[in-house]
Amino acid sequence: MSEFVRRLATSSLTARVALGIALLLIIGGVFVSIAAFAYGREAARSAYDRLLLGAANDIASAVTVLDGRPTIELPVSAFELLALAPDDRIGYRIIGPEGATLTGYDEISLPDSRQSLSEGFFDGTFFDEPARYAVVSRRFAERTLNGTVRVIVGQTLNAREDMAYDITRKALYVLAATGLAMALLAAVVVRSVLRPLENIAGGLSARDPHDLTPLDTEVPKETEVMISALNGFMARLDRQMNSMRHLISDTAHQLRTPVAALRAQADLFSDEMDISRKERIVERIQTRSASLGRLLDQMLSQALVIHRGDSARRERVDLRDIVLDVFEEGDHAVLKPEMEVLIDIGESPVEVMADVPSLTEALKNLLSNALKYGRSPVRIGASLDGEKVAIWVEDSGPGPEDEVLTALGARFNQAKLSRQSSAGLGLAIAHSVAVSFGGRLLLEKKDGKRFRAALVFAAALEKKT
Amino acid sequence: MTGSSNFLRVLLACLLALGVAGQSSAQEMIKMYGPENANQTLILRSTTDISVFGPVVDDFVRTRPGVNLRYEQWGSNGLYQLTRKECREGQPGADIVISSGVHQMVQLVNDACARSYQSRLTERLPQALKWRDELFGITREPAVIVYNRDLVPAVDIPKTRFDLLDLLRPADTPYAGKVATYDIEQSGLGYLFAFADAQEASTFGALQESLGRSQAIATCCSADIIQGVAEGQYLIAYNVLGSYAQGFQQRDDRIGIVLPSDYTLVLSRALLIPKQAENPGLAAEFLDFLLSPGGTLALRTALLISPMLDSEEGNEGEVLNSTARRPIGLSPALMVALDALTRETFLRRWRTTFPGQ
């Protein structure tokens, strides 16, 4: 059975539809046949029962009383009525008031349970053949005769069965015609349903391997799901490829200058004879390599953020946790021990659907920018403002020049990473994270005394309990 | 010899069963056809005179060397009683039963005494000449009026039943006591014709009354009646079987035959193969032979398929309008004729018409 189910799952859609239609027709056919036969039997039964009753009444009305005895001249019309079932034998019996047979077949008897039946029908046999009988009674209240004469008229069942089979047969003809029409329609429908799929497959296989542009969405609704999923997948792939490309070119570009400088210093070092100058050069090499290390860290975290932005699963994150994590890691104490860092978080959770590592990276970068370029004290925090939540870093300096800020905004609006300074790279990472989770990076000056960099998101919906 | 002792037993049983029926209920004659040493014997019981049906049987036996045929001639009532009794008791009897008492044959089929048979030839029979594929009409014989050509003047020859009524109406009619018909109490065929007449037209009541008033003679047997007409004992005979009348006329032209043009009853003798027949295959072959062109020709020669009914020939220039033909169809409605109470009622009326006979 499981083998069958497995094979069914991989069989063609046409085969499935054919199987479905076949099952429908077989089950329907059986039901219709049974129903038609039952209906046919019932129709034949009621039609021929009426004949029987008519004949019985005809005979009963021909009974007369002569010399105190019931007597009869059987009406030929009654038998002609019965002869409408041309191949059926006829049985009849007329029972007098004392229960004696006046005429007809003695063999015909009322069923044991209905000996007193005076009006109605019963099933029996006639010379070993199944037969149907009608009984009617006629009451006599004459001076010479008082009692009931019962007339039993019966007939074998050939005509009834012929009629029932005839009705069934006709119903089956209709069913067969319907089935054929259904099969043809199904074939047409299956072909037309599968055509879009074939078109899609054809379009995909004819594509250039590097072509990741969206597929044509002029397709039936049902396949649109598949197409949009496919397009979404391709867009992600495209974005990731672009990011990688940019990352690689940015990295190459940004590394070239510090590495060239390091080499130049190293060359200077080997040419320098003076010990004190040599020490200064070593100092410079150390500074340079430390900043190169930071640059590399940032690049890696940018790569991480770009990667996670597209691939990581969103979860409910409390921004206060991020703030606490970054603060407790204590990088700032190592980098700039002279700067004071304060935490500013509230009582209530500040939740957003996002990815913890991405947010942590973004906050770290903003914090390190603030430490590098801003003034003490630096405050980090998370806040909830109606529908909006924000995680931010604020220093007590005036912030960058206005034109620099505008230029930064313009660059982010082009949504592309380009050659940038270390500070720019940090902002770029923060911007990427903001965009990945449907938010934005907000840079604002406050009263010329403070500068705040914030990631603003839509608040996560209240958790349903 | 077992055959003959069997026959005696049947005869005895038959006589016992009939009691005081007061008529010839036993077989009237037996004749064997075909070779003595044949390995198969077909028993045929019929109401038809051996002399009439013999040539047809001859034609059948001639083509089958291994078969002989025992032809038993019976009265219709006796044949009916015997066949019915054998059927009820499950005894083997005849292989084929042919009777002019078609109402009795219908009754036998209704009582499940017959065997069903279908062939290409039986399929071609008209619906009225077969019932349930068990009963088959094999002949076409009109019921005719026979008159004495010397004693009945041409103007008096009755062409219709109305003519006959008019002939009998005057109080001093010369036909009083000179019109004969079957005694329907004795003759199954006569009863059948009378019954069919009663169904067919309202004239029958008047005719019956008229026959009674003119002291018509009710007697038995086609041959006696026709002989009586030829000899002048009767002047007119009503409802005589046409095949016998025409056969007689071919030997003796003192009689004339009229097919009543208001309507003419046409009888088809019915054939059935009893349920317990010992040679049903051979019996079926015989039936097919009778329905085949060869058999039809033999029946036509024997006048059992009456040439008088062919509109192009006719008898003495008589042409019977085909709408006036009333075949007695093989339908269960004929059972009415045999119903005991109905028969009694019918006969009671008959007796009041023909008192003292």
| Partners of residue B127 in chain A, C-beta under 8 Å | 86
Task: Average the pLDDT over B31-54 and give the result.
Answer: 89
Structural domain includes residue A320: yes
ipTM for the complex? 0.81
Number of Cβ pairs closer than 8 Å across A and B? 58
Region of A320 on the Ramachandran plot (φ > 0 left; ψ -120 to 50 alpha; else beta): alpha
State the Rg of chain A over Cα: 50
Smallest CA-to-CA distance from A365 within A411, A315, A424 is with A424
Structural domain includes residue A58: yes
Please give the Cα distance from A90 to A82 (Å, whole number): 7
Length of chain B: 357
Smallest CA-to-CA distance from A179 within A26, A4, A361 is with A26
Which SS3 state, helix, strand or coil, does residue B172 take? Answer: coil
* H, E, C per residue of A221-275: HHHHHHHHHHHHHHHHHHHHHHHHHHHHHHHHHHHHHHHHHHHHHHHHHHHCCCH
Of A107, A141, A165, the position where a domain reaches its end is: A165
Residue ranges of domains in chain B: 2-140+268-305, 141-266+320-353
Please give the Cα distance from B262 to A411 (Å, whole number): 122
Structural domain includes residue A9: no
Give the number of other CB atoms < 10 A from CB of residue A168: 20
Structural domain includes residue A174: no
Residues A78 and A152 reside in one and the same domain: yes
Residue of A71, A87, A128 with shortest CB distance to B341:
A71
Residue of A74, A83, A126 with shortest CB distance to B339:
A74
Residue of A nearest to B333 (CA): A79
| Partners of residue A88 in chain B, C-beta under 8 Å | 332
- A129 has a chain B CB within 8 A of its CB: yes
Provide the pairing of β-strand A63-66 with B236-241.
Answer: unpaired
* Count: domains in chain A: 3
Structural domain includes residue A202: no
| CA quadruple A19, A25, A31, A37: dihedral sign | negative
DSSP per residue over B45-109, as a string?
A: EESS-HHHHHHHHHHHHHT-TTEEEEEEEE-HHHHHHHHHHHHHHT----SEEEES-HHHHHHHH
| Partners of residue A80 in chain B, C-beta under 8 Å | 331, 333
pTM: 0.67
How close A74 gets to chain B, by Cα (Å)?
6
In CATH terms, the superfamily for domain B141-266+320-353 is: Periplasmic binding protein-like II (3.40.190.10)
Please give the Cα distance from A369 to A365 (Å, whole number): 6
Per-residue pLDDT of A428-438, as tens digits, reads 788 888 888 88
DSSP state of B354: S
Helices and strands in chain A, H and E counts: 11, 14
Q: Which domain holds residue A414?
A: 312-465
Please give the Cα distance from B332 to B338 (Å, whole number): 11
Residues A52 and A160 reside in one and the same domain: yes
Window B:98-137, CB contacts with A under 8 Å: 109-112, 127, 131-133
Give the number of other CB atoms < 10 A from CB of residue B320: 22
Mutation target to probe the A interface, by most A beta carbons within 10 A, among B129, B335, B343 is: B335
Please give the Cα distance from B11 to B14 (Å, whole number): 5
Residues A457 and A330 reside in one and the same domain: yes
| Partners of residue A81 in chain B, C-beta under 8 Å | none
Residues A319 and A465 reside in one and the same domain: yes
Same fold, B2-140+268-305 and B141-266+320-353: yes
Kindly give, in sequence order, each residue whose CB lies less than 8 Å from that of residue B343, ignoring residues fewer than 6 positions away: B191, B337
pLDDT at site B3: 42
Triad A312, A316, A322: Cα angle to 5°: 85
Tell me if A383 sits within 8 A of A346, measured CB to CB.
yes
pLDDT tens track of chain A, all 465 residues?
Answer: 677 777 766 667 777 777 888 888 889 888 888 998 899 999 999 999 999 999 999 999 999 888 888 888 899 899 999 998 888 999 999 998 888 888 889 888 888 877 777 888 999 999 888 999 999 999 988 888 888 999 999 999 999 999 999 988 998 898 889 888 988 888 888 888 788 788 888 888 888 877 777 777 677 777 788 888 888 888 888 877 887 787 788 778 778 888 888 888 888 888 888 888 888 888 888 888 888 887 788 778 777 777 777 677 788 888 899 999 888 887 777 777 888 888 888 888 888 888 888 888 888 888 888 888 888 889 999 988 888 899 999 988 887 777 777 777 666 654 444 444 556 677 878 888 888 888 888 888 887 788 888 989 888 776 544
How close A21 gets to chain B, by Cα (Å)?
43
Residues A95 and A239 reside in one and the same domain: no
Residues A149 and A118 reside in one and the same domain: yes
Of A282, A311, A340, the position where a domain reaches its end is: A311
Tell me if B273 sits within 8 A of B115, measured CB to CB.
yes
Q: Which two tokens stand for residue A439?
A: 């938010």
Residues A44 and A134 reside in one and the same domain: yes
Of A149, A165, A181, the position where a domain reaches its end is: A165
Tell me if A348 sits within 8 A of A389, measured CB to CB.
no
Please give the Cα distance from A349 to A323 (Å, whole number): 12
Smallest CA-to-CA distance from B220 within B190, B246, B199 is with B190
Window B:295-334, CB contacts with A under 8 Å: 331-333
Kindly give, in sequence order, each residue whose CB lies less than 8 Å from that of residue A159, ignoring residues fewer than 6 positions away: A44, A48, A84, A85, A86, A87, A88
Residues A72 and A110 reside in one and the same domain: yes
Triad B199, B204, B209: Cα angle to 5°: 145
Please give the Cα distance from A299 to A10 (Å, whole number): 47
Which SS3 state, helix, strand or coil, does residue B274 take? Answer: strand
Q: Regarding the domain delimited by B2-140+268-305, which CATH topology (the fold level of the hierarchy) does it fall under?
A: D-Maltodextrin-Binding Protein; domain 2 (3.40.190)
How close B5 gets to chain A, by Cα (Å)?
31
